């Protein structure tokens, strides 16, 4: 490998200041986009309109960056804006013709992502359309997701194992009489890779398993926590609701239909590696062409999943950089005030996890650090609006 290639290889992780800057710049855009989307979540607002506003904001903001770079830098939406309501678990990002609107007291899961030069920041947040504190089981399920996210933030650190995180978040959910939703994976993020090989499985079951993995310094992770007041075993009810796809770069097939070839060519040009919404394609051709592409595994669908009617589902997702000085959570948004029916005050194990610091104390005491207050924080997310450190 040449010196230039070695330099390029090194610059792909957090040892490069440029890479850290791109992750943090993408995270700043994601946090602002989330804030905008939350403000748009009002009764009678059309979900597709809000999704479009989120995506457009990310495209506009990234479009203003690195305009004068020597080489073209890819940037834009890393995961299309989704609004999944009440017992809908994830990935609801409807087509332009969809008339679905939000209603008072809806529990809305907002999920979106941005990338700059392939360095990805993602976030998910749960917002209830109401004034005043969130109470009852709605507060329980959000508090379960948020507390589990805070615990995961402290356990996703160099030397720890992915299984440690899976076990811990399930214990947190149980403390709130909720379930961690099956099938959800937290992934390592790499340049242009939103679902890296290192992963954390939310709940182990016979259908899904991941390899044991240890977290290492200079890695980046998307931590994905989904909790439910139901069984935590979501189902696909209607394949037609699926609108988000990702190119399966390792698959090839000679498509038979003209519409399929047209759409697949458009996807390869516009969305060669990142997930995208079918809204961004020519709709009539897309309806026909996407089916053949999915059937031959050229595209990986992100299905819209549901718990049972009446169940409530909460979603918290954040991006964390495992820096040499500790964990840096770069995407988040404060929660509404919660008044859950359950408490973790008497749970010593969860309290011990939450008391762990997120920063690494350097041995020997560096000159610059002297006199600085400890950055470790004991989280008390159960009834506070705080959702961890913001970017």
Q: What is the DSSP string of 188-216?
A: EEBTTBSS-S-EEESS-BTTB-----B--
What is the percentage of the chain residues whose pLDDT exceeds 90? Answer: 81
Q: Per-residue confidence at 287, pLDDT binned at 50, 70, 90?
A: confident
Residue 36 predicted with pLDDT over 90: yes
Q: Which of 46-60, 93-107, 176-190, 274-288 has the lowest mean pLDDT?
A: 274-288
Contacts of 282 (CB under 8 A, 6+ apart): 262, 263, 266
Residue 369 predicted with pLDDT over 70: no
Residue 111 predicted with pLDDT over 90: yes
Q: Which of 188-197, 246-255, 267-276, 366-375 has the lowest mean pLDDT?
A: 366-375
Q: Per-residue confidence at 29, pLDDT binned at 50, 70, 90?
A: very high
Contacts of 355 (CB under 8 A, 6+ apart): 378
Residue 383 predicted with pLDDT over 50: no
Q: How far apart are CA 47 and CA 82, in angstroms?
A: 9
Q: Is 132 exposed, middle or buried (0-12, 13-18, 19+ CB in 10 A)?
A: exposed
Residues 306 and 235 sit within 8 Å (Cβ to Cβ): yes
Q: How far apart are CA 213 and CA 208, in angstroms?
A: 15
The mean pLDDT value for 280-307 works out to 91
Residue 335 predicted with pLDDT over 50: yes
Q: Which of 35-44, 248-257, 314-323 has the lowest mean pLDDT?
A: 248-257
Residue 379 predicted with pLDDT over 50: no
Residues 277 and 302 sit within 8 Å (Cβ to Cβ): no
Residue 50 predicted with pLDDT over 60: yes
Q: Per-residue confidence at 68, pLDDT binned at 50, 70, 90?
A: confident
pLDDT at residue 157 in the model: 95
> What single DSSP character describes residue 224?
E
Q: How far apart are CA 156 and CA 209, in angstroms?
A: 18
Judging by DSSP bridges, how do beta strands 75-85 and 276-277 pair with one another? Answer: unpaired
Mean predicted lDDT score pLDDT of the chain: 89
Give the CA radius of gyration of the chain: 21
> What single DSSP character describes residue 88?
E
- Better pLDDT: 106 or 286: 106
pLDDT at residue 286 in the model: 86
Residues 80 and 93 sit within 8 Å (Cβ to Cβ): yes
**What would the two tokens of residue 92 be?**
């609801």
Ordered domains of the chain (ranges, CATH): 17-239+305-354 (3.90.230.10), 243-302 (1.10.10.10)
pLDDT at residue 362 in the model: 56
Q: Per-residue confidence at 372, pLDDT binned at 50, 70, 90?
A: very low
Residue 51, by phi and psi: left (phi above 0), alpha (psi -120 to 50) or beta?
A: alpha
Q: How far apart are CA 332 and CA 320, in angstroms?
A: 10
pLDDT at residue 390 in the model: 32
Q: Which single residue is written with the structure tokens 């759409």?
A: 263
pLDDT at residue 288 in the model: 84
Residue 118 bridge partners (DSSP)? none
Residue 88, CA distances (Å) to 107, 191, 308, 365 in order = 10, 30, 9, 50
pLDDT at residue 384 in the model: 37
- pLDDT tens across 210-224, in order? 899 999 999 999 999
Q: For the residues of 250-294, what is the DSSP string, one character each?
A: T------SHHHHHHHHHHHHH-SSS-EEGGGS-HHHHHHHHHHHH
Residues 275 and 58 sit within 8 Å (Cβ to Cβ): no
Angle, helices 283-295 vs 258-270, to 10°: value is 90
The mean pLDDT value for 51-62 works out to 98
Q: How far apart are CA 300 and CA 363, in angstroms?
A: 46
The mean pLDDT value for 82-100 works out to 97
pLDDT at residue 59 in the model: 97
- pLDDT tens across 130-175, in order? 999 999 999 999 999 999 999 999 999 999 999 999 999 999 999 9
Q: How far apart are CA 195 and CA 177, in angstroms?
A: 30
pLDDT at residue 361 in the model: 65
């Amino acid at each position: 490998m040449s010196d230039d290639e070695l330099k390029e290889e090194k610059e792909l992780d957090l040892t490069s200041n440029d890479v850290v800057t791109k992750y943090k710049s993408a995270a700043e855009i994601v946090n602002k986009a989330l804030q905008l989307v939350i403000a748009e979540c009002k009764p009678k607002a059309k979900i597709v309109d809000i999704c479009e506003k989120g995506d457009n904001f990310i495209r506009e903001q990234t479009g203003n960056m690195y305009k004068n770079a020597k080489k073209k830098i890819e940037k834009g939406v890393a995961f299309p804006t989704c609004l999944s309501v009440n017992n809908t678990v994830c990935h609801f990002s409807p087509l332009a013709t969809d008339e679905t609107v939000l209603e008072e007291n809806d529990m809305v899961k907002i999920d979106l992502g941005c990338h700059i030069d392939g360095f990805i920041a993602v976030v998910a947040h749960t917002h209830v359309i109401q004034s005043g504190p969130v109470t009852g089981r709605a507060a329980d399920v959000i508090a379960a997701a948020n507390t589990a996210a805070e615990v995961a933030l402290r356990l996703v650190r160099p030397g720890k194992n992915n299984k440690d995180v899976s076990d811990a978040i399930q214990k947190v959910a149980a403390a709130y009489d909720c379930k961690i939703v099956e099938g959800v994976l937290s992934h390592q993020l790499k340049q242009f890779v939103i679902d890296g090989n290192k992963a954390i499985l939310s709940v182990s079951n016979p259908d899904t398993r991941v390899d044991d993995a240890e977290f290492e310094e200079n890695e980046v992770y998307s931590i994905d926590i989904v909790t439910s007041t139901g069984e935590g075993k979501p189902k696909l009810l209607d394949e037609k609701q699926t609108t988000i796809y990702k190119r399966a770069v390792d698959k090839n097939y000679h498509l038979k239909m003209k519409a399929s070839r047209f759409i697949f060519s458009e996807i390869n040009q516009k969305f060669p590696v990142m997930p995208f919404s079918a809204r961004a394609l020519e709709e009539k051709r897309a309806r026909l062409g996407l089916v053949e592409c999915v059937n031959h595994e050229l595209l990986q669908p992100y299905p819209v999943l549901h718990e049972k009617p009446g169940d409530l589902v909460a979603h918290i997702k954040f991006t964390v950089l495992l820096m040499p000085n500790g964990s840096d959570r770069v995407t988040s948004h404060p929660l509404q005030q919660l008044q859950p029916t359950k408490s973790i005050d008497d749970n010593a194990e969860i309290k011990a996890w939450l008391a762990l610091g997120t920063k690494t104390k350097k041995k020997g005491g560096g000159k610059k650090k002297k006199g600085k207050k400890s950055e470790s924080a004991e989280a008390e997310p159960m009834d506070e609006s705080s959702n961890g450190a913001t970017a």
